[in-house]
Amino acid sequence: MPGRRRHPRGPRAALTAAACAALLLGPPPTAQAADDRPGPRPVAGDVTGAVTGDIEVHDPSAIRLEDGTYVVYSTHNGIEARTSTDGVHWKRAGSAFRSQPAWWRAYSAESDPWAPEVLHRGGTYWLYYAVSSFGSNHSAIGLATSPTGLPGTWEDRGVVFSSTTTDDYNAIDPGVVEGGGRLWMSFGSHWTGIRMVELDRRTGTVKPGAPVHHLATRPDAPYAVEAPSLVKRGAYYYLFVSYDRCCAGTDSTYNIRVGRATSPTGPYTDRDGTPMTEGGGELLLASQGRYVGPGGQSVLRDRGGRAGRDVLVHHYYDAEDGGVPKLALRALRWDDAGWPAVGR
């Protein structure tokens, strides 16, 4: 159904608001059986080790704070937060917001925010997030800032961008990237796919009169592409997206795709040169054994961890635990042609 997911609450529900988690390390994604792959291997002091503790999340976004603490923010409950000192053991740490901004009610009857994007720039932490309701593109992306990035310290700055039922896009799932002295925000779910607008570098809000660029879509209804996340590496911008069906437990068919471009506004193409506006997208990660429907991804650029790795952060549905959505952190490696793959 176009518009986005709704996750019933409950600690062990298949679509729980925030989900259990485990860290996956292994070779590039294939359909091979789980017992053919090496299992998780803890690595002390690095986020690419097996995770433990209170690790139920959905639509995760992770950051390493200046004091070395790792934080994962996720969908629901005022943007849920979990922290870790080593990237291995996680504990629940409240929510980003201490109270609900009044404007949330205009877009969500439950005042329930989704799909955060957390980043650090200019000495300030920035948190973008979506407020909407299932199946609707009457949606908005909000912004909050914090001096520390810790839960409970965020000050809401209001609506950054919104969409209405007359628009052919959906203003949810923000993903922000900086490059060439400019700041850009991707967004979108179903409808006509992934879009982008330019942000003001000083305020983090949309530039007045900024055009809406088109980055990716699928050729057939319901145009199931969402959750854009952008990374600049070398000469390229990389667009990570989730294809197909989210939020259906073990019936989920989510998979993660990627394309790249030399400009933040595209055109993004896969390895074969197929434009992502025509359904292209290099497969990065699909269901593997118990790990069903990976998606809702972001990329942690962990420059403080061992060797300064890039880490793919996403959720999946655990087929051996009733379809509970769980967190995964996978090291990203880059091949000689500059394409990402998951593994060590």
- Catalytic annotation, residues: 59, 226
Phi, psi torsion values for 87, nearest 5 degrees: 75, 5
Maximum Cα interatomic distance, the chain, rounded to a whole number of Å: 53
Paired tokens of 233: 């590496």
Paired tokens of 242: 């989730």
Angle, alpha carbons 275-277-278 (nearest 5°)? 70
Locate tokens 């607008």: which residue?
A: 197
Phi, psi torsion values for 132, nearest 5 degrees: -160, -170
**Closest to 193 (Cα-Cα) out of 173, 172, 167, 214:** 214
Bridge partners of residue 261, in order along the sequence:
237
DSSP state of 189: B
Burial 197-221 (b: 16+ CB within 10 A, else e): bbbeeeebbbeeebebbbbbbbeee
Cβ–Cβ < 8 Å for 260, 338: yes
Cα–Cα distance for residue pair 229/55, rounded to 1 Å: 22
Burial, 312: exposed, middle or buried (Cβ in 10 Å; 0-12, 13-18, 19+)? Answer: buried
Strands 236-243 and 255-261, bridge-based pairing = antiparallel
Cβ–Cβ < 8 Å for 111, 100: yes
Amino acid at 147: P
CB-side exposure of 80: number of CA atoms within 13 Å? 21
